[in-house]
Structures are given as structure tokens and as C-alpha cells.
């Protein structure tokens, strides 16, 4: 090696895997200290692999936030699960996040089986949401999971409060392979800003509308213009599956869409760190879930869902 710097640099990929709602997005947002991955109380809100880059000492960790792994039924679901597993497969380190309150559910068991089948050893186990459970529940759960032989480190964390997260990061950093940095040091995410903006609007839709409707819609940033005054002009379309859904998204006198737009604009402007003018449109596009183009936009493999 011709390394001349005093300290050896390390860089690699860490995949966060877990059942839907385990807290992957919350953890990633806490680690990176900025909102980049959509968080919602509803399951399966992460459709794309969001990468965040963290510098920790001389280590650069590229985090991959995978869609929750669940039993897939529809094509889109299958593509998401496929993306989650390939994220884990390509990573240098895998962190399995388990909701300590729920314990080893059927979904968790399926992931354990998948990990075992992949032949991967030495994953990191992070028992999350420890703020919600008593210590006497945690220890037996940690033991039960350790007995699988799949993990060589266990952490008890709360992605919500940050407790234990520092130790987890230090361990991930330690496991990164030696090598040059993969991204510039100040690089936070390789998600293009237009995609971040679309994810934020999608999150506001989830907050404002309930039941199945948000799942049956998608948001795309159609135009993203930097203006001379330093602000950004963003046009987004919310695609809905049926004409009947359009009215619900618009609301009485356009009240619903206005509210979604206002909340989204405030947050997009915060995250992008400049004033934002946001224009939202609602359009019907039947079968948007079966359009290969959309899958590419989300970083998913259309055939992965075949
Ligand atoms: N009390 C508590 N709640 C948490 C913690 N971590 C996550 N949550 C909550 O759990 C819910 C799910 O969190 P997400 O981060 O969206 O979960 P996810 O694993 O990314 O979910 P998918 O996108 O569906 O795969 C949210 O309501 C979070 O606020 C924690 O440590 N403590």
C-alpha cells in the first residue's frame, strides 16, 4: 500500500434491513441528522433505496435504507422486497433492525431465514424501540436472536430518542473495509433533490389522507428550476389510480391539496435550505403501478417484481 496519510481511511456500504415499521427510516434520519427518508406510521412507505453518507472518524459509511421486507403479493411489492435483499447482498455490513416491542414476528422469522439462506455471517442486530419495553423483555429477546448464530454484535437502541445509536454507528464504522472514500466528505445523500422533494410530498399525503388512498398514488417532480433569486420552483404531479380519487385529493374547494402543498413546501424548503415555490397537480394515470418507467425512477428493478 502507498497510503501516506497518518490515518487509514475506510469506506463501505451498510444495509439496514428489517420488517416494515421496524424504524429503519427513523434510524437513518437520526444517524444523518437530517430528514432524507420518508417516515410514516404506516407500513411500506419506503419504496426507494435512500442512501445517506456519514463520516465517522476516518470511516465513511454509506447507508442503504431498504424497503421493509415482507411477504410480497403485488408486482410492486415483489420489486421492493427484491430491492431490499439486493441492498443487503451488496453491502459490507448488514444491520437487522427488530422492533423490540413486537419481538420475533413471522416477518422477522422470514428475514432470519433469508439471512441464513444467504450464507452471510456476522450481521449486527439492533433491537429498536427500547424506550417502549421493559428490560426484562429485552434480554430474553436478545438471547433468542443471538442463538440463531447470525449476529456477532447486539445493540439496544431507540431510533426515536437516539439512545444506543452512537455505539451502533461506531461499530458499523469499525467494520468498513479499508479504502478511499466513495463520496466527497460533505456529501449527505446521492438522492437527487427532485426525488427528495417528491418523497416529502408523498409523506404529507400519508399524513393528510388515510386508509388505502396514499398507497394508490405516487408523486413525481416534473420540473425543478433554480431561480435567479436563489429560490427553487418545483412542479409536482400526484398520480392517482382512478378518477374517483382525484376529488378526495383535491378536497372541498381544493382545501386538501392546498394543505398538503403548504406542508410539503415548508419542509422541502427546510431540507433544501432555500425558499421553494411548489405547484401541485393531480392527474389520473391508471396502471401507474405497472409502468416500468416508474420503477426506474424509484431505483427499483421492474423485473425484480416479476
Ligand atoms: N417509540 C419509538 N418509536 C419508534 C422508534 N423508531 C421508530 N419508531 C416509530 O415507528 C414507526 C415506523 O418507523 P419507520 O422509520 O417509518 O419504519 P421503517 O422500518 O422505515 O418502515 P417502512 O418504511 O415501512 O419499511 C414510526 O411511527 C416511528 O416514529 C423508537 O425507537 N421508539
Domain ranges of the chain: 10-175, 193-305
Does residue 5 register a pLDDT over 60? no
Q: pLDDT-based confidence at 44, cuts 50/70/90?
A: very low
46 lines ligand 1 (CB under 6 A): yes
Report how far ligand 1's centroid is from the alpha carbon of 277 (Å). 30
Any ligand 1 atom below 6 A from CB of 39: yes
Helix (H) or strand (E) holding 295: helix 292-297
Torsion of CA 289, 269, 129, 20, to 10 degrees: 0
The pLDDT of residue 43: 43
Say if residues 148 and 112 touch (Cβ distance below 8 Å).
yes
For residues 15 and 93, is the Cβ–Cβ distance under 8 A? Answer: yes
38, 202 Cβ separation under 8 angstroms:
yes
- Considering the segment(s) 10-175 as one domain, its CATH architecture is 3-Layer(aba) Sandwich (3.40)
Domain 193-305 in this protein, CATH class: alpha beta
More confident residue, 17 or 290: 17
Q: What percent of the chain has pLDDT over 90?
A: 36
Question: 23 C-alpha to center of ligand 1: Å?
Answer: 3
Closest CA to 43 of 74, 16, 69, 76: 69
Amino acid at each position: 500500500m502507498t497510503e501516506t496519510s497518518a490515518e487509514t481511511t475506510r469506506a463501505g456500504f451498510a444495509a439496514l434491513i428489517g420488517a416494515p415499521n421496524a424504524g429503519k427510516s427513523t434510524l437513518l434520519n437520526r444517524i444523518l441528522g437530517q430528514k432524507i427518508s420518508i417516515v410514516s406510521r404506516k407500513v411500506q412507505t419506503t419504496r426507494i433505496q435512500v442512501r445517506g453518507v456519514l463520516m465517522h472518524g476516518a470511516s465513511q459509511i454509506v447507508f442503504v435504507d431498504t424497503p421493509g421486507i415482507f411477504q410480497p403479493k403485488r408486482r410492486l411489492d415483489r420489486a421492493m422486497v427484491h430491492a431490499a435483499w439486493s441492498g443487503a447482498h451488496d453491502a459490507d455490513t448488514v444491520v437487522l433492525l427488530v422492533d423490540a416491542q413486537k419481538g420475533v414476528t413471522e416477518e422477522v422469522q422470514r428475514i432470519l431465514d433469508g439471512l441464513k439462506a444467504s450464507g452471510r455471517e456476522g450481521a449486527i442486530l439492533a433491537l429498536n424501540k427500547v424506550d417502549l419495553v421493559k428490560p426484562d423483555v429485552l434480554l430474553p429477546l436478545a438471547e433468542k436472536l443471538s442463538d440463531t448464530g447470525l449476529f456477532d454484535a447486539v445493540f439496544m437502541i431507540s431510533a426515536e430518542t437516539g439512545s444506543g445509536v452512537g455505539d451502533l454507528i461506531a461499530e458499523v464504522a469499525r467494520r468498513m473495509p479499508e479504502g478511499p472514500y466513495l463520496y466527497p466528505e460533505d456529501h449527505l445523500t446521492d438522492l437527487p433533490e427532485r426525488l427528495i422533494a417528491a418523497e416529502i410530498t408523498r409523506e404529507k399525503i400519508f399524513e393528510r389522507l388515510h386508509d388505502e388512498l396514499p398507497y394508490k398514488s405516487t408523486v413525481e417532480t416534473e420540473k425543478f428550476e433554480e431561480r435567479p433569486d436563489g429560490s427553487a420552483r418545483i412542479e409536482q404531479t400526484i398520480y392517482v389510480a382512478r378518477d374517483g380519487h382525484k376529488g378526495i385529493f383535491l378536497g372541498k374547494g381544493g382545501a386538501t391539496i392546498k394543505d398538503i402543498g403548504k406542508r410539503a413546501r415548508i419542509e422541502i424548503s427546510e431540507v433544501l435550505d432555500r425558499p421553494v415555490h411548489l405547484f401541485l397537480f393531480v392527474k389520473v394515470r391508471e396502471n401507474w403501478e405497472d409502468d416500468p418507467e416508474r420503477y426506474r425512477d424509484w431505483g427499483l428493478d421492474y423485473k425484480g417484481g416479476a
